[in-house]
């Protein structure tokens, strides 16, 4: 599915079924559907039934990273697949890089990225902290929103990969681990070693060229 406003049949059916009182639509009709805190849980519960993909490949100038998304963390897996199909991650950046800790991606100082977010919607994801996963090296997790957030709701457009060999277990219970790197930890290490400014932003921008679903 492209990143424009045309919906594929499955997505249109889900919207019809889950948020019809909010937005009236027909299959393949162009609409301005946006996710929000009011409809996100219902939408992704339904989306999870019809979109089972859980393996993706991230392309960067440093190499590729392959990730398996955990089916147990259904909101986060579905959200990542949804954003991938929307082509959201293209030209986003690894904007927070801390060697021997994490690399964090999914944001950018480019206005086009903020415009993409506006088109997709403004929402947070419920946490999935009790699935038995820990912040081991290579695990993929989602940061919490910076707003007042007592329930540790996740910021849906961003993610981080644990690079530290000893893991980052002090993060357990605060952030949802929703995937793991299956190939490309050498790429993660290369990105982690990049020079940064005092805000941990790489001195040379590190872009995600694209993310594609491989299974």
Is 80 exceeded by the pLDDT of residue 3?
A: no
Mean pLDDT of 22-28: 39
What are the respective helix, strand and coil percentages of the chain, to the nearest 5?
Answer: 25, 25, 50
CA distance 118 to 74: 23
Please state the pTM of the whole predicted model.
0.86
The mean predicted confidence, pLDDT, of the chain is: 87
Tens digit of pLDDT for each residue in 167-198?
Answer: 999 999 889 999 999 999 999 999 999 999 99
Integer Cα distance of 37 and 31 in angstroms? 19
Are 92 and 207 a contacting pair, CB within 8 Å? yes
* Residue 151 pLDDT exceeds 60: no
Of the candidates 106, 37, 40, 120, the one whose C-alpha atom is nearest the C-alpha of residue 78 is 40
Contact, 211 vs 89, CB < 8 A?
A: yes
pLDDT for residue 148: 53
In this prediction, residue 11 has a pLDDT band, given cuts at 50, 70 and 90, of: confident
Percent of the chain with pLDDT over 90: 73
pLDDT at 79 over 60: yes
The DSSP-derived string for 33-45 is --EETTTHHHHHH
Q: What order of strands is seen across the sheet that includes strand 208-213?
A: 93-98, 102-107, 159-162, 139-142, 176-183, 63-69, 55-60, 208-213
The contacts of residue 111 (CB under 8 Å, 6+ apart) are: none
Q: Give me the mean pLDDT over the 53-74 stretch.
A: 97
C-alpha 115/C-alpha 135 separation (Å) is 31
């Amino acid at each position: 599915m492209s990143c424009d406003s045309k919906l594929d049949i499955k997505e249109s059916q889900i919207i019809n079924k889950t948020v019809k009182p909010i937005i009236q639509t027909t299959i393949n009709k162009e609409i301005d559907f946006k996710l929000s805190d009011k409809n996100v849980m219902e939408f992704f519960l339904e989306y999870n039934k019809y979109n089972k993909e859980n393996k993706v490949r991230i392309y960067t100038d440093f190499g590729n990273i392959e990730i398996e998304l955990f089916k147990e963390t259904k909101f986060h897996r579905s959200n990542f697949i949804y954003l991938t199909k929307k082509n959201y991650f293209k030209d986003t950046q690894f904007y927070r890089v801390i060697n021997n800790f994490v690399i964090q991606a999914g944001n950018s100082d480019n206005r086009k990225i903020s415009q993409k977010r506006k088109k997709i919607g403004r929402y947070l994801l419920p946490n999935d902290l009790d699935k038995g996963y820990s912040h081991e090296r290579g695990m993929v997790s989602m940061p919490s929103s910076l707003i007042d957030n007592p329930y540790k709701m996740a910021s849906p457009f961003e993610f981080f990969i644990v690079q530290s060999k000893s893991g980052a277990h002090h993060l357990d219970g605060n952030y949802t681990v929703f995937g793991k790197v299956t190939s490309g930890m050498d790429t993660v290490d290369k990105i982690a070693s990049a020079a940064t400014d005092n805000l941990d932003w790489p001195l040379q921008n590190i872009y995600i060229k694209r993310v594609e679903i491989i299974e």
